[in-house]
Amino acid sequence: MTVTTIAPRRAAALVPGLAVLGAVLAVVAFLSVTQGSRDIGLSEVLRALGGLGDDGSTNSTVTLELRVPRTLLGILVGAALGVAGAVLQGVTRNPLADAGIMGVNSGAAVFVVFAITVLGVRGAGVYVWFAFAGAIAALVLVYAVASLGREGATPIKLALAGAAVTAGLGSMTTGIVMTNVDALNELRFWQVGSLAGRYAPILTGVAPFLIAGLVASLAFGRSLNGLALGEDVARGLGQRVGLTRAAAFGVVAVLAGASTAACGPIVFVGLVVPHVARFLCGPDYRWILPYSMLLAPIVLLVADVVGRLVVTPDELQVGVVLGLLGAPVFVGIVRFGRMSEA
């Protein structure tokens, strides 16, 4: 049987999975808009979204100004983190790679601290751009350090460079905030990772970057499949390995940088979701990427809704919930299942 006859059959088996995940995401998004300390019915949501009967009531305000932007941001950020993790695991051939260990979170934190302590910046709507710049700068630094030497940016050098840059920038951030109370107070709310308080201006600010990065990432499926076979095989297939890595890191910088800037560092999504996607669809990155793009926002929004409901009328930030739920799940993947090779 030829490859050309196998591929359509595999696609026919996997496309329904994407449809199911899309339907699940729609249900979770509906719950995200309607559930919380104030329950809002479907009819009220539809009236608010359609502008029918929107008389400035509390439910309409909560729906339009708080929950809809929060839900849309959760979908985009979740998709971005899931895809960024899958691309990083593929390009580094490291099943434990994610944006956090490649310097993104620490780079964003350093720039946020700089904005607070030196420039006097206050408020997430302003320092989101400093966090974005810091995340991208950190990833560029990691890639530049890993590229030194004749071998270039090999998977091992990328992992080591990411760990070194993360440790250095983390120590720098800690040293600054321990001597500046204002910086500590501002940073601790951003650093926990949250969708709360992220209003429409933040959504519209980062959405173009996230959408562009997600669209661009889908073009890397075939290249990541080649890298998974090894650099020599990839070169033998005509792939320019260095250019592929640089382009992939650029896309990851945009996706992870914008996500971290908007919501703070959110753990486990980019690490665990690609493994779940591989379990569902196999090792082909042409399918891992879209599966991760749908799975990750489902995980993120479910955690966000859980955080709102467990301590009503208060809420747990999504970063805390993901840490509590994600750690045992990841241990289970390592303990009871074989850690999938990137």
Query: Digits of tens for pLDDT over the chain (342 positions)?
Result: 444 444 565 667 788 889 999 999 999 999 998 887 677 767 777 777 776 545 567 777 777 778 889 999 999 999 999 999 999 888 888 887 888 778 888 888 888 888 878 887 766 667 778 888 888 899 889 888 888 877 777 778 888 888 899 899 888 888 887 877 767 776 777 677 788 877 788 888 889 999 999 999 999 988 888 888 777 787 877 778 778 888 888 898 889 888 888 888 887 898 889 999 998 998 899 999 999 999 999 999 999 999 888 877 778 888 888 888 877 777 776 666 555 555
Q: Is 219 within 8 Å of 247 (Cβ atoms)?
A: no
Q: Is 248 within 8 Å of 309 (Cβ atoms)?
A: no
Q: How far is CA 133 from CA 2, 139, 161, 167, in A?
A: 48, 10, 19, 19
pLDDT of residue 86: 94
Tell me the CA end-to-end span of the chain in Å, nearest whole number. 27
* CATH code assigned to 3-191+200-336: 1.10.3470.10
Of 129, 138, 137, 169, give the one whose Cα is nearest residue 262: 129
Phi, psi dihedrals of residue 51, rounded to the nearest 5°: 75, 15
Per-domain residue ranges of the chain: 3-191+200-336
Q: Peptide bond preceding 208: is omega within 30 degrees of 0, i.e. cis?
A: no
Q: What is the pTM of this model?
A: 0.86
d(CA 50, CA 30): 15
pLDDT of residue 2: 43
Q: What is the pLDDT of residues 240-296, one digit of tens each?
A: 877 888 888 889 888 988 888 888 888 789 888 999 999 899 889 999 999 999 999
In the chain, which ranges are continuous DSSP H helix?
Answer: 3-34, 42-50, 58-61, 68-92, 104-117, 124-146, 155-177, 181-191, 200-217, 221-228, 231-236, 241-263, 269-281, 285-309, 318-336
